Amino acid sequence: MSSARSASRRTKRRRRAAPGTAAPSGGESEEERQRREERERDLRRQISDEPGLLGRIMAFLPLHLLLWLSRETWVLAAPNYHHLSISARLRGERSLWQRIPLALVQQIATSLTQLISITFCHPSAIPLWCFDVFLTVVESHVAGRRAANMDGGTLRTITIEKHGWRSNESGTFGREHPARPPLVDPPPTLSALTAIKGLSEFHFDLGGRGWLMPSLEEVTLEEDVSMGYGAAKLGQLIDSSHSVRRIDWCLRAEWWVEDVFERMPTPDPGQPGPLRHLEAIGTIDLNGPCGINESGQLGRIPTPLPLPQQPPPPPAPSP
C-alpha cells in the first residue's frame, strides 16, 4: 500500500513539472532564470553606457579592495574618491599597505585628484608604520592635480590616529621604520588644507617636507607629546600659513617665541601679520630652566591674543 502511495506522489510531481519549466534545486524555473539573466544583462549595459557611472559606484569600495580589481577599474574610480584611509586596523588592509611598492602608491595617488580628507591610522606602538606611504599619497595627490592643470586644491583635512593593537596581532606588522621618500621639488602646495589633527612627536618630520599650506587654520597634537621636542619643526609646519587660528600644544614661552613664531614672516609696516587670526595657542609654560620665570618672553609673542602680563618686580627689601 505504501509503495502505491509513493508511486502516486511521483506521478503528480511529474505532471506539475511541465517540460521546459522544471524547477532546479534552488526553486528557480528555467524561464525565471532566463528572465533574470536578461535583466542582469540590461543592467550591465545601462551601467556601461552611462558615462562615469561605473567609476562612481566603484568609489564606494575601500581603496585597498578596489586595487584587487583590474587597473582599468581603479583608474576609472580614482577621480571619484574623496576620503582615503591608510589604516592598520584591518589585517587585509594592513597587509596591502605594508607590501605595496612606493612607485605604485605614487601612480595610484596621482589619480586621486579629488581627495578631501586623509586618515592615517598607525599601531599605537609603531607610530611610523607606513609613514612613507602616507607622505607619498599626500605629495602625489598634489602632483596629480598639477599635472592635470587643476587650479586650487581639494584636500582639507589630515587626521592621524592610533590603533590599539591586540596581542594576537603581534608579528603581523611590517614597514615599521621606513625611509622617507625624497623631497619633492618644487614643494607641494596644499592650498585647501585647513587642519592637521593628532600629530605626535614622531610625525614632526612633516615640518621638514616644505609643504606650503596658506589656508592652514588648526594644528592639534596628541596629549602625550613631550614639551619642547620638535618645536622648530612645528614652526616650519605653520610658517607658510596666513590663516592660523589654533595650535593646541604646551611649550615654554621661550620655545613659542624662538622656535615657532620667529619663523613667521614679518609684515610690512601697518599691514596685518600672519597671526592676525590666532585664537588659541594651547599653554604657555612660564617655568624656565633652573626655576627662571619666563614671563618676560610674553611681549615677544606676535599675537593679538590677550596674554598674561609680566608680574611686577618684587619690592626692594627695607633697609
Q: What is the mean pLDDT of residues 52-78?
A: 61
Q: In this predicted structure, what is the pLDDT of residue 55?
A: 47
Top pLDDT among 51 and 144 is at 144
Q: Given a cut of 50, is residue 20 above it in pLDDT?
A: no
Average pLDDT value over all residues in the chain: 76
Q: Give per-residue pLDDT as tens, 76-111.
A: 777 888 899 999 988 888 888 998 899 989 988 998
Write out pLDDT tens, residues 127-170: 999 999 999 999 999 999 999 999 989 999 999 998 876 655 55
CA–CA distances in Å: residue 103 to residues 43, 114, 240: 36, 20, 29
Number of other residues whose CB lies within 10 A of the CB of residue 237 = 26
Percent of the chain with pLDDT over 70: 64
Query: Does the pLDDT of residue 15 top 50, yes or no?
Result: no
Q: Which of 35-49, 193-207, 246-260 has the highest mean pLDDT?
A: 193-207
Instruction: Report DSSP letters for 83-122, one per residue.
Output: EEEEESSSHHHHHHHHH--HHHHHHHHHH-TT--EEEEEE
- pLDDT of amino acid 282: 73
pLDDT of residue 14: 47
Higher pLDDT, 280 or 267: 280
Residue 159, amino acid: T
Q: Which CATH number fits domain 49-165+174-266+274-300: 3.80.10, 3.30.43, 3.10.450, 1.10.8?
A: 3.80.10
Domain ranges, ordered by start, for the chain: 49-165+174-266+274-300
The pTM of this model reads 0.71
pLDDT at 60: 53
Would you say 259 and 234 are in contact if contact means Cβ atoms under 8 Å apart? yes
Average pLDDT over residues 264-273: 75
Most confident of 42-51, 69-78, 204-213: 204-213
83 against 292, higher pLDDT: 83
Please report how many Cα atoms fall inside a 13 Å half-sphere around the Cα of residue 269, on the Cβ side. Answer: 0
Cell of 145: 592635480
What does the pLDDT read at residue 150?
Answer: 94
Report the range of poorest mean pLDDT among 40-49, 241-250, 265-274: 40-49
pLDDT category, 19, cuts 50, 70, 90? very low
In this structure, of 58-72, 81-95, 171-185, the range with the lowest mean pLDDT score is 58-72
Q: Is residue 29 within 8 Å of residue 22, measured between CB atoms?
A: yes
| pLDDT above 90 as % of the chain | 25
Lowest mean pLDDT among 30-39, 49-58, 85-94, 276-285: 49-58
